[in-house]
A and B are shown apart, each in its own frame.
Chain A
Amino acid sequence: MGLFDRIWRGLPSASRRGAPARGVGASPTKQGDLFDDEFQRKLETLALVSRKVFAGRLRAERRTKKKGSGVEFADHRDYVPGDDFRAVDWNAYQRFGRLLVRLYEEEEDLSIYFIVDCSSSMGFVSGGSARGASSAKFDYARRLAAALAYVGLANLDRVTVVGMSDQVVARMPTTRGKGRIFRVFNFLRELSPTGVTDLGEGMRTFVAQHKRRGLAVLISDLYDHAGFERGINVLRYAKFEPFVLHIVDPAEARPELNGDVRIYDCETGDEREVTITPAVLERMQLAWREYQESVERFCASRQVPYFPADINVPFDELILKVFRRGGFLR
Chain B
Amino acid sequence: MAFAGLPFATLVTIAAALGALTVVFYILKLRRRPIAVPFSHIWERVLRDKEAESWLSRLRRLLSLLFQLLLLGVLILALGDPRLSQNLVQGRNVLVLVDTSASMKATDGSPTRLDSARDQVAAMVRGLGATDRMLIASMDSGVRPLTGMTGEAQDLTLALKELRATDTRADIRRGLRFAADSLRGLPKAELVVVSDGAFGDLDQESLKDVLGDIELRYVPVGSRNKNVAITQFSVRRYPLDKSRYEVMLEVSNTNEEPTEVELTLIGDEQVVDVSRLSLGPNERLPRFYKDLAGASRTLEAVIKLGDGTPDDLPADDHAYALMPERRRSRVLLVTDGNTYLEAALLLDEYLEVTEVTEAAYPPSGRFDVTVFDRVAPPLAEGGGAALYLNPPDTETAPVPRGKPLKDFGFDTWERKHPALRFTELGDVQVAVGNSFRPERGDKAVGASFQGPILVEGRRQGRRFMALGFDPRQSDFVMRVAWPLFILNTIDYFVAEDTGYISSFRTGEVWHIPAPSGASSAELEGPDGVRRTVPVKQGQAVFQGDQAGFYTLRVAGEEQEQTSEFAANLVDLAESRITPSPTFEVGDKRATAVSGFNAGVRRELWIYLLIAVVLASLVEWVTYHRRLTV
Asked if residues B38 and A129 are in contact (CB atoms below 8 Å), the reply is no
Q: B3 CB to closest chain A CB, in angstroms? A: 38
**A221 interface hit (Cβ, 8 Å):** yes
**A174 interface hit (Cβ, 8 Å):** no
Chain A residues in 8 Å Cβ range of B37: 124, 252, 255, 263-266
Asked if residues A287 and B629 are in contact (CB atoms below 8 Å), the reply is no
**B36 interface hit (Cβ, 8 Å):** yes
Chain B residues in 8 Å Cβ range of A255: 35, 37
Nearest CB in chain B to that of A119: its residue: B38
A261 and B32 contact, Cβ closer than 8 Å, known pairs A274-B50, A277-B626, A277-B629: yes
A287 and B42 contact, Cβ closer than 8 Å, known pairs A129-B35, A261-B33: yes
Q: Mark A250-285, 1 if CB is under 8 A from B, else 0.
A: 001001011111111110101111110110100110
**B47 interface hit (Cβ, 8 Å):** yes
Asked if residues B629 and A260 are in contact (CB atoms below 8 Å), the reply is yes
**B41 interface hit (Cβ, 8 Å):** yes
Asked if residues A265 and B40 are in contact (CB atoms below 8 Å), the reply is yes
Asked if residues A291 and B42 are in contact (CB atoms below 8 Å), the reply is yes
Chain B residues in 8 Å Cβ range of A265: 36-40
Measured CA separation A290–B46 after assembly (Å): 11
Asked if residues B40 and A272 are in contact (CB atoms below 8 Å), the reply is yes
Measured CA separation A263–B35 after assembly (Å): 5
Chain B residues in 8 Å Cβ range of A263: 34-37, 40, 43
A264 and B40 contact, Cβ closer than 8 Å, known pairs A273-B32, A275-B57, A277-B626: yes
Measured CA separation A288–B44 after assembly (Å): 11
Interface size on A, residues (CB 8 A): 38
Asked if residues A262 and B32 are in contact (CB atoms below 8 Å), the reply is yes
Asked if residues A284 and B43 are in contact (CB atoms below 8 Å), the reply is yes
**A90 interface hit (Cβ, 8 Å):** no
A221 and B57 contact, Cβ closer than 8 Å, known pairs A260-B32, A274-B47: no
Measured CA separation A288–B34 after assembly (Å): 21
Interface residues on B, range: 20 to 34
**A82 interface hit (Cβ, 8 Å):** no
Chain B residues in 8 Å Cβ range of A270: 40
Q: B68 CB to closest chain A CB, in angstroms? A: 15
Q: Among B47, B49, B57, which residue has the most Cβ atoms of chain A within 10 A? A: B47
Chain B residues in 8 Å Cβ range of A291: 41-42
Q: Of A124, A273, A288, which is within 8 A of B36 by CB? A: A124
**B30 interface hit (Cβ, 8 Å):** yes
Interface SS of A by simple majority: mixed
Q: Among A225, A252, A255, A263, which residue has the most Cβ atoms of chain B within 10 A? A: A263
Nearest CB in chain B to that of A291: its residue: B42
Chain B residues in 8 Å Cβ range of A280: 46, 50
**A165 interface hit (Cβ, 8 Å):** no
Chain B residues in 8 Å Cβ range of A323: none
Asked if residues A124 and B34 are in contact (CB atoms below 8 Å), the reply is no
Q: Among B34, B35, B49, B50, which residue has the most Cβ atoms of chain A within 10 A? A: B35
Asked if residues A261 and B34 are in contact (CB atoms below 8 Å), the reply is yes
Asked if residues A262 and B35 are in contact (CB atoms below 8 Å), the reply is yes
**A18 interface hit (Cβ, 8 Å):** no
Asked if residues B40 and A268 are in contact (CB atoms below 8 Å), the reply is yes
**B161 interface hit (Cβ, 8 Å):** no
Asked if residues A272 and B38 are in contact (CB atoms below 8 Å), the reply is no
A223 and B43 contact, Cβ closer than 8 Å, known pairs A261-B33, A262-B33, A273-B32: no
**A128 interface hit (Cβ, 8 Å):** yes
Nearest CB in chain B to that of A122: its residue: B38
Measured CA separation A175–B37 after assembly (Å): 37
Measured CA separation A289–B49 after assembly (Å): 16
Asked if residues B38 and A261 are in contact (CB atoms below 8 Å), the reply is no
Measured CA separation A9–B457 after assembly (Å): 111
Chain B residues in 8 Å Cβ range of A249: 38
Nearest CB in chain A to that of B40: its residue: A265
Measured CA separation A264–B33 after assembly (Å): 11
Nearest CB in chain B to that of A274: its residue: B47
Q: Among A221, A262, A266, A287, which residue has the most Cβ atoms of chain B within 10 A? A: A287
Q: Mark B576-615, 1 if CB is under 8 A from A, else 0.
A: 0000000000000000000000000000000000000000
Chain A residues in 8 Å Cβ range of B45: 287, 290
**A121 interface hit (Cβ, 8 Å):** yes
Asked if residues A223 and B38 are in contact (CB atoms below 8 Å), the reply is yes
Q: A100 CB to closest chain B CB, in angstroms? A: 60
A262 and B38 contact, Cβ closer than 8 Å, known pairs A272-B43, A275-B57: no
**Which of chain A's residues 210-264 have a Cβ closer than 8 Å to chain B?**
221, 223, 225, 249, 252, 255, 257-264
**A171 interface hit (Cβ, 8 Å):** no
Chain B residues in 8 Å Cβ range of A129: 34-36
**Which of chain A's residues 290-315 have a Cβ closer than 8 Å to chain B?**
290-291
**A131 interface hit (Cβ, 8 Å):** yes
Q: A283 CB to closest chain B CB, in angstroms? A: 5
Measured CA separation A258–B41 after assembly (Å): 19
A262 and B36 contact, Cβ closer than 8 Å, known pairs A275-B629, A284-B43: no
Q: Of B38, B41, B44, which is within 8 A of A252 by CB? A: B38
Measured CA separation A318–B150 after assembly (Å): 82
Nearest CB in chain B to that of A227: its residue: B41
Chain B residues in 8 Å Cβ range of A259: 629
**Which of chain A's residues 111-162 have a Cβ closer than 8 Å to chain B?**
121, 124, 128-131
Measured CA separation A47–B41 after assembly (Å): 37
Nearest CB in chain B to that of A121: its residue: B38
Q: Of B30, B38, B43, which is within 8 A of A124 by CB? A: B38
Q: Among A252, A268, A271, A275, which residue has the most Cβ atoms of chain B within 10 A? A: A275
Q: B312 CB to closest chain A CB, in angstroms? A: 70
Nearest CB in chain B to that of A273: its residue: B32
Q: A267 CB to closest chain B CB, in angstroms? A: 8
Asked if residues A257 and B35 are in contact (CB atoms below 8 Å), the reply is yes
Asked if residues A128 and B36 are in contact (CB atoms below 8 Å), the reply is yes
Asked if residues A284 and B32 are in contact (CB atoms below 8 Å), the reply is no
Asked if residues A288 and B42 are in contact (CB atoms below 8 Å), the reply is yes
Chain A residues in 8 Å Cβ range of B57: 275
Measured CA separation A129–B42 after assembly (Å): 17
Q: B471 CB to closest chain A CB, in angstroms? A: 110
Question: Could you jot down 21 A-B contacts, CB within 8 Å?
Answer: A121-B38, A128-B36, A129-B35, A223-B41, A225-B39, A252-B39, A257-B35, A263-B40, A265-B37, A265-B38, A265-B39, A266-B37, A272-B40, A273-B32, A274-B43, A277-B629, A280-B46, A280-B50, A287-B43, A287-B46, A291-B41
Chain A residues packing against B (C-beta within 8 Å): 121, 124, 128-131, 221, 223, 225, 249, 252, 255, 257-266, 268, 270-275, 277-278, 280, 283-284, 287-288, 290-291
The 7 closest A-B pairs by CB, nearest first: A129-B36, A265-B40, A223-B39, A124-B38, A262-B32, A121-B38, A287-B45
Question: A277-B626, A291-B41 are known contacts; what are 17 more A-B pairs with Cβ within 8 Å?
Answer: A128-B36, A131-B36, A223-B41, A252-B39, A255-B35, A255-B37, A260-B629, A261-B34, A264-B35, A272-B40, A272-B44, A272-B47, A274-B50, A280-B46, A284-B43, A284-B46, A287-B45
